[in-house]
Amino acid sequence: MPSEPGSSIGAAIAATSTVPPDGVCTVTFSLAWDCPDVKFGSGRTYHRRYTKFYGTHGDAAANIAHDAILEHGLWESQIEAWQRPILEDKRLPEWYPGTLFNELYYLNSGGTIWTDGSPPFHSLASIEGSKFSLDRAGSNLGHQGDTAVDILGRMASVLEQIHTPLTTNSAFGTNLLQEGEENVGQFLYLEGIEYHMWNTYDVHFYASFAFIMLFPKLQLSLQRDFAAAVMMHDPSMMPLLQDGQCVPRKVIGAVPHDIGIHDPWFEVNAYNLHNTDRWKDLNPKFVLQVYRDVIATGDKKFAQAVWPSVYVAMAYMDQFDKDGDGMIENDGFPDQTYDTWSLSGVSAYCGGLWVAALQATSALAWEVGDKDSAEYFWCRFQKAKIVYDKLWNGSYFNYDNSSGTNSSSIQADQLAGQWYARACGLAPIVDEDKARRALEKIYNYNVLKVQDGKRGAVNGMLPDGTVDMSCMQSREIWSGVTYAVAATMIQEGLTDMAFHTASGVMETVWAEHGLGYSFQTPEGWNTTDQYRSLCYMRPLAIWAMQWALSRPNLTITITSRK
């Protein structure tokens, strides 16, 4: 069917070239489209980041294609120059560089949206039933300024007042930009193509190493959004799938689980299985990422801007220290990223994150000039560290201290706090010998006892050498957690062990003889190779391995405090 006059339904390109015998000819073409705006379910509409360079009118496709044709050779050479040092590093196993780069697929396949960082805008079509007036009779201007241009100008001004929301009670981190700082826009990506929440923070904790190493300004932008979100309070009630109860969507001081889905930045916490305001890992993860990002970038303006949110986030956690011993306790439900795997009392996972976050808060306080807070959090770090050490059973840290049926489970992720402390140049939160012995236990049990060590690290393993079957997630192997465990091993000097552990993910996902998940790495799979959640955020944690291998220059190193 032909297209109507003035419209098109398709296009074609053709090129003519003469190729001599045994010759080679290259025909270069580019496909581009210009979709300048993104509109969310709430109706709020934003300009995409690239409109800063190509305009917002939707007519720039030809210019984009033109630039790609002219510049693609330069882009390819820059990519090759970036990859070459890793590809040629003879210390690395052959499988590692390709897997490292290939896992970056998720940065553009994960539902990615990058706005220009401006507040949402509204068109005339969105005026709906709002009341407004263009009448200026009440002013002393009389009929001056009544040309068509002036009237349209007043209309635009009124529409802006009606529809542009205040961004104070929102997760709009651009409000925290300091004088002279670049607004690089705001970045969204999904937890997974089956889990529709933007910037799921407990998972981004693992994936964020890819951002801070490759796109540090985007990482800081995302962090500002969550710093702003800490100060948000949204009392609107939302029902929970767990028990049907209704809870406030977001309380002040809590780091949200995600930045939303229907109305990102303004309606956070799309996740509604549990009340994440009661989760124990989100606030420490925020603090640890902030500190890492400060020392990685040396951005002191960023540190000053987010310090109030860090302090409030840590103060919020005091309610979870029920016995006043300096250590937070889990509440007997899945109150952390393992959201079907319950914890009770002091836990290796959340407890370690808390101890590391106390130390990071002290170090950050010194950096922003708050000496009293620095000393205060340092003392609390020392106190909590003693309590945490009680989880040590001689060969690893117990899952928790509840004396429950799986409290002695060997959790692959038990040293998450140690991992981040080391990555940030902080003092280790456990003795080095204990860290190494725990990692050796994880390797010998969680890795080697599952399919001959070719699937990664299973989340939970019982002391008798059988998989912890207490819930779905305890018996799963999580690709991103396996990479994080490998990064921890590298930091503790167990490099060969680390690469063998991580190779299980490569064998499963990327190898020709694997399970066929290339460019759709799942969150995890169980010991019988049944996957869950294709195309997931957490496997970007392989860049934590590269962080550990490359040992980036950190602007601050806090190893001790008097």
pLDDT in tens, 385-398: 999 999 999 999 99
- HSE value, Cβ hemisphere, 13 Å, CA-based, for 100: 24
State yes or no: pLDDT of 124 exceeds 70.
no
Q: SS3 of 98, please?
A: helix
Domains and CATH numbers, the chain: 124-163 (no CATH), 173-550 (1.50.10.10)
Q: What was the pLDDT predicted at 165? A: 53
Give the pLDDT score at 93. 98
Burial class (CB in 10 A: 0-12, 13-18, 19+), 473: buried
- The model's pLDDT over 20-78, given as tens digits with 9 standing for 90+, comes to 999 999 999 999 999 999 999 999 999 999 999 999 999 999 999 999 999 999 999 99
The share of the chain scoring above pLDDT 70, in percent, equals: 91
pLDDT above 80 (res 314):
yes
Q: What is the pLDDT of residue 470?
A: 96
Q: How confident is the model at residue 138 (pLDDT cuts 50, 70, 90)?
A: very low
Residue reference for tokens 């620095």: 374
Residue at 1: amino acid letter: M
On whether the CB atoms of residues 267 and 48 are closer than 8 A, the answer is no
Identity of the highest mean pLDDT range in 25-29, 159-163, 438-442: 438-442
How far apart CA 298 and CA 294 sit, in angstroms, is: 5
Residue 95 neighbours by CB under 8 Å, 6+ apart:
503, 506, 510, 511
532 alpha-carbon distance from chain centroid: 19
- Residue 558 confidence class, pLDDT cut points 50, 70, 90: very low
Question: CA 279 → CA 211, 224, 254, 270, distances in Å?
Answer: 24, 21, 9, 15
Residue 519, pLDDT above cutoff 70: yes
The predicted pLDDT at position 4 comes to 86
Distance (Å, rounded) from C-alpha 562 to C-alpha 557? 15
pLDDT of 324-373, one tens digit each? Answer: 999 999 999 999 999 999 999 999 999 999 999 999 999 999 999 999 99
Mean pLDDT across 400-411: 95
Q: Tokens representing 359?
A: 């130390």
CA gap 426, 405 in Å, rounded = 34
Mean per-residue pLDDT over the chain, rounded: 93
427-465 burial, b at 16+ Cβ within 10 Å, e below that, comes to bbbbeeebbbbbbbbbbbbbbbbbbebbbbbbbbbbeee
Instruction: Give the model's confidence band at 152: pLDDT under 50 very low, under 70 low, under 90 confident, else very high.
Output: confident
For residue 266, pLDDT beyond 90: yes
Cβ–Cβ under 8 Å, residues 510 and 102: yes
pLDDT at 122 over 80: no
Angle (deg, nearest 10), helices 495-509 and 542-550: 150
d(CA 106, CA 287): 25
User: What's the pLDDT score for residue 562?
Assistant: 42
Q: For residues 111 and 189, give the distance between their C-alpha atoms in angstroms, rounded to a whole number.
A: 5
Q: Can you tell me the distance from the alpha carbon of 438 to that of 404, in angstroms, rounded to the nearest whole number?
A: 21
Q: Which residues, in sequence order, are bridge partners of residue 247?
A: 238
Place of tokens 């040293």: 415
What value, to the nearest 5°, has the Cα angle with vertex 273 and ends 269 and 279? 70
Percent of the chain with pLDDT over 90: 86
Min mean pLDDT across 449-463, 476-490, 491-505, 542-556 is at: 542-556
The pTM (predicted TM-score) of the whole model is 0.91
Identify the pLDDT of residue 136.
54
**What count of other Cβ atoms lies within 10 Å of the Cβ of residue 532?**
16
